[in-house]
Amino acid sequence: MPIPISARPASSWRAFASLLLASIVLSLSTGAAAQTTPTRTEAGSEPVRSILWVDNSFFYYNNSMHGHYGELARADDASSQHRGVSVTISGSGLDWHDLASYLQPGGIGKYSFAPGNTIVFNQPGKQFDAVIMMDCSQCPIHPQLAGAFRDFVKKDAAIVAQYGARPILFMSWAYKDKPEMTAELAEQYTLAGNANDALVIPAGLAFARAIARRPELELYQPDKRHPTLAGTYLAACTTYAAIQKRSPVGIRYSAGRDPELATFLQTVAADTVREYYGR
């Protein structure tokens, strides 16, 4: 006779709960998470070598996601010249950022720090091939802020296009204790990307897929929102796969993580990008 759930030992209940959570997250990380199919599946025909990252603390945790992205790019191709600048405001949404001022001539990106801590002055003119934008972690699905999300994506995507760069949206991840956010955020970012001809990076779906495959893997800080280093590395790998159209599997840069874990996260990123774009 089956044992009632209430009478099961605590260890059995924990195992059951983990299995249930994994099954829920797995369903979100497959086709159900983004009910709408993305219409843009690549950043553009020209290579993306310089990126402006516009966001909040989700980007700057763990020595900044743009730094890990750059390390992945250099490890994949030592001859490539990738450059990234991160403009973040703690707790911000897109409505806190004055994107036009970031892209004005002679401003951000005018010079860079090179190996040996030397300063290199970049060529005048357009400094960035693409701009990655993420709203606050709840804004796209918040009843009072979702309208601002749509408005500012439209406004900022037009500013980026007028500047001559490509607008890219970064789909954020669900909170650790609110996995239902995965599907909601995926849908809103995909809709916004389609409406503004912007590539969407499916980082939130990658988090869900990683958790489904390894429920014990910790991708979150104790606040259940911000990423651990493993989470930042997973998001960077997903961004690299999405923008460069190259699998990160096999890249030797691991952000100091165990090589087996790094390979797992690289594989999750590659699988998520391939499935989301239908590549």
pLDDT value, residue 160: 97
pLDDT value, residue 114: 83
Specify the range with the lowest mean pLDDT, choosing from 8-17, 78-87, 110-119: 8-17
d(CA 108, CA 186): 30
Q: pTM score, two decimals?
A: 0.87
120: left (phi over 0), alpha (psi -120 to 50) or beta: beta
131 membership: H or E segment, kind and range: strand 130-133
pLDDT value, residue 251: 98
User: Please, which pLDDT band fits residue 250 given cuts at 50, 70 and 90?
Assistant: very high
Phi, psi values for residue 85, rounded to 5° = -130, 135
* pLDDT of 18 strictly over 50: no
Q: Tokens representing 230?
A: 């493993």
Tell me which DSSP letter residue 220 carries: B
Beta strand 130-133 with 166-170 is parallel
Judge residue 207's burial from the number of C-beta atoms within 10 Å of its C-beta, 0-12 exposed, 13-18 middle, 19 or more buried: buried
Domain assignments of the chain as residue spans, ordered by start = 10-94+127-277
Considering the chain, what is the average pLDDT of its residues? 89
**CATH for the 10-94+127-277 domain, from 3.40.50.150, 2.60.120.380, 3.30.465.10, 3.40.50.1110:** 3.40.50.1110
- 23 versus 175: the higher-pLDDT residue is 175
* pLDDT of 8 strictly over 70: no
Residue closest to 207 by CA, chosen among 184, 240, 176, 177:
176
* pLDDT of 253 strictly over 80: yes
